[in-house]
């Protein structure tokens, strides 16, 4: 990360802390954790989908594939935290504690963004239950006491697969 982008990120966070606009500031919620303009925000969100095809052996022929349904959907959040206040340093440890509980968490979309004349996902949409499967944290830009002030994290969650009877 260049010094310029670091300063821009710092200035954006500084201005956002004084922003009193009535616009929604939550981008996404995972259980009690909120991603948004005034909290930890994610820089990108990647969604991966898969479909399960099982290989079946066949006598004197090539194996065939049999469709077994959709696979697990996963979402990967790239998070950037520039620690301006002590509360900023608490976000990732709290996320880890939530993952240590071993319980699926409800995911709710924040405010929707219009795409043309329609919205992709309406704000406040319940996206179901999700499990935290991975959290990678990269610390940089240290103070003299060894405290990092910049944290880049990658959070991966997978859909819980709610039962439908």
Domain map (residue ranges) of the chain: 3-159
Question: How does DSSP assign 67-123, residue by residue?
Answer: EEEE---EEEEEEEEE-SSGGGGGHHHHHHHHHHTT--EEEEE-S--EETTEESS-T
Condensed to tens digits (0 to 9), the pLDDT of residues 64-106 reads: 999 999 999 999 999 988 887 777 788 899 999 999 999 999 9
Among 3.90.110.10, 2.40.30.200, 2.170.120.20, 3.40.50.1220, name the CATH number for the domain at 3-159: 2.40.30.200
Q: Give the list of residues 6+ apart from residue 136 with CB closer than 8 angstroms, or none.
A: 153, 154
Residues of the chain with pLDDT under 50: 3, 6, 10-11, 13-21, 114-119
């Amino acid at each position: 990360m260049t010094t310029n982008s670091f300063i821009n990120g710092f200035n954006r966070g500084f201005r956002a802390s004084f922003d009193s606009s009535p616009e929604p500031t939550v981008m996404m919620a995972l259980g009690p954790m909120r991603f948004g303009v005034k909290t930890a925000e994610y820089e990108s969100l990647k969604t991966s989908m898969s479909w399960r095809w099982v290989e079946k052996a066949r006598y004197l022929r090539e194996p065939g594939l049999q469709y077994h349904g959709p696979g697990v959907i996963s979402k990967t959040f790239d998070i950037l935290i520039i620690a301006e206040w002590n509360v900023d340093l608490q976000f990732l440890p709290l996320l880890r504690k939530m993952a240590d509980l071993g319980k699926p968490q409800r995911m709710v979309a924040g405010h929707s963004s219009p795409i043309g004349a329609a919205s992709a996902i309406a704000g406040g949409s319940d996206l179901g239950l999700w499990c935290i499967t991975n959290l990678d944290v990269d610390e940089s830009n240290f103070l003299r006491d060894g405290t990092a002030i910049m944290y880049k994290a990658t959070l991966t969650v997978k859909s819980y697969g709610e039962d439908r009877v």
